[in-house]
Amino acid sequence: MSFTAQELEARKQAIAKSRSEEEQRETPARRRIAIVTGSTSGIGEGIARALAASGCNVVINGFGDALAIERMRMMIEAEHNVTCLYSNADMTKSEQIEGMFSTVKEKLGPVDILVNNAGVQHVSPVEDFPVEKWNLIIALNLSSAFHTTRLAFPDMKARKWGRIINIASAHALVASPFKSAYVAAKHGILGFTKSTALEGAQHGIRVNAICPGYVRTGLVENQIADTARARGISEEAVIRDVLLAAQPTKEFVKVSDVAAMAVFLTTEAANQINGAALSIDGGWVAQ
Ligand code: NAD
């Protein structure tokens, strides 16, 4: 098949037009603003760094050594040429979450990407489960996502674009003994993900859950000792017979695996992924 010079020119122009439309869809007029709760360490830190690398201004949050957090904030700004704010809001306190949202809006603008990641674990037989630990886990691992989501939704709806990523767990899909509060909260956040995904679907908002298997962060290091105590076995046995026994690959999930998925969910290619539970667990829940 041969084309005249005029036809070739028309085709070139059509391709250039469709490329520029695609770019416009993928490149927002301003940098996107992302909040990652619980991002002073572990998975949240990895996600915050990856979102900054993808060009977002990011808000990091969580507890820890003030100097180390400030160093991290400055490094993110310097490495990725973005703005990075730190909020010390306690995600178990609704008024502090509200304060964080108004400060972010005032300093950076409305939130485009919300990653609900802050979470803790406690391992204990249910009859001995400390009531304050139950209340903490439900408040942090579940209710904090309700507060951040209710605060993020109005601006996302108004701007017709928003991405909410809930860091759930394989424990949102299956249970383990001695983790009643965690399993309850993680199953709960998956239900919350689905419900809010339906509410946002026609407003350009996408809500998804990532369900990682074991990632060797501080949260898991503490669990190894606690599980050894609860089951009366050694820490080596916990790693071999409990943690990696669950994962057919016999490998821990990496923080970077979870961070890459979170960034993907913010791209145009993920536009039809909504209300999903995305497992990154080496095949754990497939068994
Ligand atoms: P981590 O302990 O390394 O990080 C937890 C973060 O939450 C820290 O930044 C901490 O300062 C912050 N945090 C704790 N209490 C807070 C509060 N009240 N308010 C605000 N921030 C608070 O743990 P991680 O392993 O990176 O866990 C992050 C998320 O990933 C959690 O929701 C966890 O359930 C989930 N997850 C972890 C694994 C794993 O194997 N590590 C697997 C599946 C899911």
Tens-digit pLDDT profile for residues 219-264: 899 889 888 998 899 999 999 998 999 999 999 999 999 999 999 9
The pLDDT of 34-51, averaged and rounded, is 98
Indicate the burial class of 7 (C-beta count within 10 angstroms; 0-12, 13-18, 19 or more): exposed
DSSP string, the chain: ----HHHHHHHHHHHHHHHHHHHHHHS-SS--EEEESS-SSHHHHHHHHHHHHTT-EEEEE--S-HHHHHHHHHHHHHHHTS-EEEE---TT-HHHHHHHHHHHHHHT-S-SEEEE---------GGG--HHHHHHHHIIIIIHHHHHHHHHHHHHHHHT-EEEEEE--GGGTS--TT-HHHHHHHHHHHHHHHHHHHHHGGGTEEEEEEEE--B-SHHHHHHHHHHHHHHT--HHHIIIIIIHHH-TT-SPBPHHHHHHHHHHHTSGGGTT--S-EEEESTTGGG-
* In a domain? residue 69: yes
Distance 81 CA to ligand 1 centre (A): 26
- Residue with token string 């990632």: 215
Same domain, 139 and 264: yes
Residue 90: CB within 6 Å of ligand 1?
yes
Q: Is residue 10 predicted with pLDDT exceeding 90? A: no
Q: What pLDDT, on a 0 to 100 scale, did the predictor assign at position 22?
A: 54
* In a domain? residue 18: no
The pLDDT of 23-40, averaged and rounded, is 79
Tokens linked to 200: 């946002």
Same domain, 114 and 242: no
Same domain, 245 and 269: no
Same domain, 80 and 116: yes
Same domain, 247 and 115: no
Q: Is residue 70 predicted with pLDDT exceeding 80? A: yes
Distance 177 CA to ligand 1 centre (A): 20
Q: Structure pTM?
A: 0.91
Query: Which residue minimizes the CA distance to atom 41 of ligand 1?
Result: 215
Same domain, 248 and 259: no
Tell me the CATH number at 56.
3.40.50.720
Q: What pLDDT, on a 0 to 100 scale, did the predictor assign at position 93?
A: 98
Q: What pLDDT, on a 0 to 100 scale, did the predictor assign at position 3?
A: 67
Query: Which residue minimizes the CA distance to atom 21 of ligand 1?
Result: 62
182 is catalytic: yes
Same domain, 196 and 225: no
Distance 111 CA to ligand 1 centre (A): 21
Q: What pLDDT, on a 0 to 100 scale, did the predictor assign at position 11?
A: 80
Q: Which of 182, 192, 214, 252 is catalytic?
A: 182
* In a domain? residue 8: no
Q: What pLDDT, on a 0 to 100 scale, did the predictor assign at position 31?
A: 95
* In a domain? residue 10: no
Query: Which residue minimizes the CA distance to atom 34 of ligand 1?
Result: 119
Distance 43 CA to ligand 1 centre (A): 7
Give the range of the structural domain holding residue 161, as residue numbers without chain letter: 30-213+254-279
Considering the chain, what is the average pLDDT of its residues? 94
* In a domain? residue 192: yes
* In a domain? residue 284: no
Same domain, 99 and 113: yes
Residue 3: CB within 6 Å of ligand 1?
no
Q: Is residue 28 predicted with pLDDT exceeding 70? A: no
State which of 97, 122, 219 you would mutate to test the pocket of ligand 1, scoring each by most atoms of that ligand within 8 A of its C-beta: 219
Residue 221: CB within 6 Å of ligand 1?
no
Same domain, 77 and 49: yes
Please give the tally of structural domains in the chain. 2
Angle, helices 144-159/94-107, rounded to nearest 10 degrees: 30
Same domain, 96 and 199: yes
Distance 218 CA to ligand 1 centre (A): 8
* Structural contact between residues 106 and 59, judged by C-beta atoms closer than 8 angstroms: no
Same domain, 56 and 172: yes
Q: What is the rounded CA–CA span in Å between residue 120 and residue 204?
A: 31
Same domain, 118 and 230: no
